[in-house]
Amino acid sequence: MKVKRISDKELSYVREVLSNSFRSSKGAEFMTRLEHQFCETFETNFSISHVNGTATMHSVLEAAGIGEGDEVIVPPLTMASTSLAVIHANATPIFADVERDTLVISANDIESKITSKTKAIITVSLYGLSPEMDAICSIAKKHNLIVIEDNAQSFLSYYKGKLLGNFGDAASYSFQSSKHISSGEGGMTTTNNEELAIKVRKVTGLGYAALGSKKAKITKADIQNPNYVRHDALGWNYRMPELCCAVALAQVERIEELVEIRKISASYYLEALEGCSWIIPQKVPEHCVSSYWAFACILDTDKVSWEDFYQAFIRNGGLPFYGAWKLTYQEPLFTNKIFGRRNDYIAIDYNDVTCPNAEYVQSRIIAMKTNYWDTDEARKQAKILRKTILEFEERF
């Protein structure tokens, strides 16, 4: 199977945008089409495009009125953007541990971290796998918390037969270059709550009064009137550029093939690991369907160091794979509290934070690429993985 990362459809849509010479009257045409298509594909009522997948989460937090003095529970094992969005909203990230086998945030640990200051939970569907959303949403309901799904790595992932993105109060997606669908940069917030959608739209669009849940742009007739009142809310300029919207639209229209080729790559890696007891793939429960943004495994570093395995794989012709991110609370930004004026109300000493499971798996994770647009290359990489495994087993 071969798939073009960028096809003639993307090129055609981009040419259409350029042919309009960026006239303001055409300024939200592809944005509107993209948002409509995203709603249809992800079975949601409202979609609001953003400049990136960090702004998406910040917008929801601002729209929900979360800020100074509030706490938001997040996982430490993921891209730091999840926690940075909380900092941007002037709130405090509180880290809940992950499950050691699935690598996703633990519902039990979430509940143990809830205080009177907790206002929200941001889940992360890591490497394409959903957390236990039923349990998390039940906890959130009991404590009157909002749930934001960070699905940057999970396009067309399923939990108990239901498309991910339809469990929390809102969901966030990223169109950054490594994601299942991409426009270089960009993102999307989805929700089924129209009041929240309107507020997110205004946060995204400079607080313009006339914006709505499905209205992305004010009209020229409005702004030509000297008596027109423009702003009735505080907002940022988080709107997604029309060129990026054009590319993202084409990618959403092609999403099935763009996701499927990653799942095929993952199936080859699973075959390569058969019988291997010292490299364990991320557990995918039977009630989940992963979209495999990457194929994550846990290496037994008592047998083989991460660096030794990496170098052996490369020597055998493998393409570089990734380790895990440094745990967010271990980054200097957090340990040294480089929060500027936010230090006045973020009272947590992150040097005292510990998430034992996350700390255990972080140095052991191997994240194999799945974004091979030709399955022959993915099969080749899986064979190299198998060869490398057998070489080490001969030494044990």
Three-point CA angle 153, 298, 318, nearest 5°: 80
Give the separation between CA 3 and CA 169, rounded to whole angstroms.
34
Q: What dihedral angle (degrees, nearest 10) is formed by the CA atoms of 220, 224, 227, 230?
A: 40
DSSP 99-160: -TTT-SBPHHHHHHT--TTEEEEEEE-GGG----HHHHHHHHHHHT-EEEEE-TT-SS-EET
CA distances from 364 to 6, 271, 277 (A): 34, 20, 14
Determine phi and psi for 101, rounding to 5 degrees: -90, -40
Determine phi and psi for 119, rounding to 5 degrees: -125, -20
**Which among 4, 141, 179, 387 is annotated as catalytic?**
179
Residue 276: HSE in the Cβ half-sphere, 13 Å Cα cutoff = 26
- 44: its two tokens: 């949601």
160 included as an active-site residue = no
SS3 at position 5? coil
With 0-12 / 13-18 / 19 or more C-beta atoms within 10 angstroms meaning exposed / middle / buried, residue 227 is exposed
Helix, strand, coil percentages in the chain from 3-state DSSP, rounded to 5: 40, 15, 40
Q: Which of 167, 257, 205 is nearest to 51 (CA)?
A: 205
Given a contact cutoff of 8 angstroms between Cβ atoms, the answer to whether 187 and 56 are in contact is yes
- Strand 118-124 to strand 146-150: parallel, antiparallel, or no bridges (unpaired)? parallel
Give the separation between CA 385 and CA 368, rounded to whole angstroms.
10
Residue 147: HSE in the Cβ half-sphere, 13 Å Cα cutoff = 29
Given a contact cutoff of 8 angstroms between Cβ atoms, the answer to whether 51 and 185 are in contact is yes
Residue 374: how many other CB atoms lie within 10 Å:
12
Place of tokens 């089409």: 33
Determine phi and psi for 127, rounding to 5 degrees: 60, 15
Q: Which residues are identified as catalytic?
A: 179
